[in-house]
Amino acid sequence: MTVMLAPLLHVDSSADREASVSRQLGALFADEWRRGGGIVRHRDVSAEPVAPLREAYARLGRRVERKGVLSLEDIATLIEDDDEQREWDLTLPLVNEVREARAVLLGVPMYNFGVPATLKAWIDRISFPGVFVDPETGRKLLADKEFVVVAARGGGYGPGTPREKFEFQESYLRACLGDKGVDPERLTFVSQEFTRVGDVPALDGLEDLAAASRTAARSRVVELAGRLTR
């Protein structure tokens, strides 16, 4: 009998639905997760964008922060008007998806050295004050969840490369997720680099590096998904 795992929340953010490397890596991970007996909840923030924050979100957030860490139910009691209700209704389902997941998989292409605006909107929305902290114990609710980021980069941005200082993709996500209580030991990045080789003339001659990066990334994704579903 197959034991069903708590769901994997798979968030895709690439605008390219045909040739996206981050989507390919994410799909590979999700398929392995299902093969291991798990279920997958998929959210495509490019196809169905998360609404940007509006003033009422900030207003409600400030009111909550003054009260300290509250339960989701108690937050709802502080809503004062229709605009705040709208913002909370847009926020709560996204927060609950993360809270209910056993693991979170983020598919993240590098856009202009950082993450897509669509993913940033999702992050902004789930960053409502205190929603990932237990109000009774102070326990960080994301500390025991696995987070996997499958990232794609057109060129090379690793340590020691000429463009190392242009890398605001992984560094941003490490800081942001860590601030929300994600355990650094449970946050894994799998990056495929040189994905624009063959498209950008300046990258001509780097075909071997691109192929090696692709092989390593796909192998790592399969290994990681298999380990997390055992």
The residues, ordered by sequence, that sit 6+ positions from 132 with a Cβ below 8 Å of its Cβ are 95, 98, 99, 140, 141, 142, 180, 181
Q: Which residues are annotated as a binding site?
A: 14, 20-22, 110-113
Structure tokens at 37: 């007996």
Q: Tell me the C-alpha to C-alpha distance, in Å, between residue 132 and each of 73, 152, 193, 197.
A: 13, 28, 32, 40
H runs (alpha helix) in the chain: 21-35, 55-67, 72-77, 82-100, 117-126, 170-179, 207-228
Distance CA 229, CA 33 (A): 6
Q: Report the binding-site residues for FMN.
A: 14, 20-22, 110-113
For residue 128, with 0-12 CB atoms within 10 Å meaning exposed, 13-18 middle and 19 or more buried, which class applies? buried
**Residue 102 token pair:** 């056993």
172 vs 177: CA distance, rounded Å:
8
State both tokens at 132. 């990932």
